[in-house]
Amino acid sequence: MSNKVLVFGHKNPDTDSITSSIVMANLENQLGNEAQAVRTGKINKETEYVFQYLGIEKPELIEDVEDGQEVILVDHNEATQCVNNIANAHIQKVVDHHTMNFVAPYQLYYRAEPVGCTATVLYKMYRENDVEINKTIATLMLSAIISDTLLFKSPTCTPEDQKVAEKLAKIADVNVEEYGKNLLKAGTDISEFTPAEVINIDSKLFEKDGKKFKIAQINTADLDDVFKKQSYFEAAINDEIKQENLDLYVFAATDILNSNSKVISLGNQANVIEKAYGQPLDHNTALLEGVVSRKKQILPKILENLD
């Protein structure tokens, strides 16, 4: 067990989960609390770009936490998305920007704001505590905001995210448009992943009334290119449905240039897509115009329309 409090984001970590762990651990350290950022999964290509750009080390990988471990969660709160054995750890703090599905039988610091990114909340915490934001920390935060808001194009993006990003860009000394496009483009590279890996680059598990489902998302600049491999993705998805007893698997490829998503929907609840969007599935797929956000435009519709 680590003597330090471990700070981490959700499984299948995205840029916000990784960078916010580092940013939060730094804040804790600056305030005199010994903290260490760790990660709960493989770094994706987009996040890889950030580490290469900054030339810094990646956080250490952990598979689970030991009983009694002190932890801080960022960018998530649901146990289904958290590291194994979280029920036996002691959660000191949660800093998040998602729907709350969290209970703890003890007092803790819980902060979630309806903004586009954990980094936006962390920026405010740095300011409230008069802790300096250096160039590296600013670049990490800015990368998370760009990633989570798809360069401010997602409906999850708030004026606050945009304002904070502008301030961070000055400290980071980057051109947001240029850096942002390069960052998002780096994340669309799935050439080195197997179909089973692609469907889990960014998948999240949810449960409602005993129904288990996953929503996975990848970014792309070319939907046709992704769907050339549809049959391989379907095989991987069906395997996972069987192995994990899922009722539904929605795999969304989000076109970051045109702000649409094409989904593959499989499982005994696959038709939830038709109910939610009024669009029948065509060969297990549907093109959802204007849909880019899992949190705002996919998850709530699925929760509402499950049988």
Residues that bind Mg ion (CB under 5 A): 14, 16-17, 75, 118, 148
Q: What's the rounded Cα separation, in Å, for the pair 71 and 93?
A: 7
Q: Which of 298, 44, 258, 39 is nearest to 147 (CA)?
A: 44
Smallest distance, Å, CB 268 to Mg ion? 26
Smallest distance, Å, CB 14 to Mg ion? 4
Sign of the Cα torsion 286, 288, 292, 293 reads negative
What contacts 24+ positions apart, CB below 8 Å, involve 50-59?
Answer: 50/15, 50/18, 50/19, 50/139, 50/140, 50/143, 50/183, 53/139, 53/179, 54/136, 54/139, 54/140, 56/136, 58/18, 59/8, 59/18, 59/21, 59/22
Determine the length of the chain. Answer: 307
Please identify, using beta-carbon distances, which residue of 153 and 275 lies nearer to Mg ion. Answer: 153
Please identify, using beta-carbon distances, which residue of 40 and 118 lies nearer to Mg ion. Answer: 118
Please identify, using beta-carbon distances, which residue of 173 and 201 lies nearer to Mg ion. Answer: 201
Please identify, using beta-carbon distances, which residue of 89 and 117 lies nearer to Mg ion. Answer: 117
Please identify, using beta-carbon distances, which residue of 16 and 240 lies nearer to Mg ion. Answer: 16
Smallest distance, Å, CB 282 to Mg ion? 26
φ and ψ of 111, to 5 deg: -135, 115
- Sheet of 90-96: strands edge to edge? 60-61, 35-39, 5-8, 70-74, 90-96, 109-112
Smallest distance, Å, CB 228 to Mg ion? 24
Smallest distance, Å, CB 271 to Mg ion? 25
Please identify, using beta-carbon distances, which residue of 120 and 269 lies nearer to Mg ion. Answer: 120
Smallest distance, Å, CB 107 to Mg ion? 25
Nearest residue (beta carbon) to Mg ion: 16
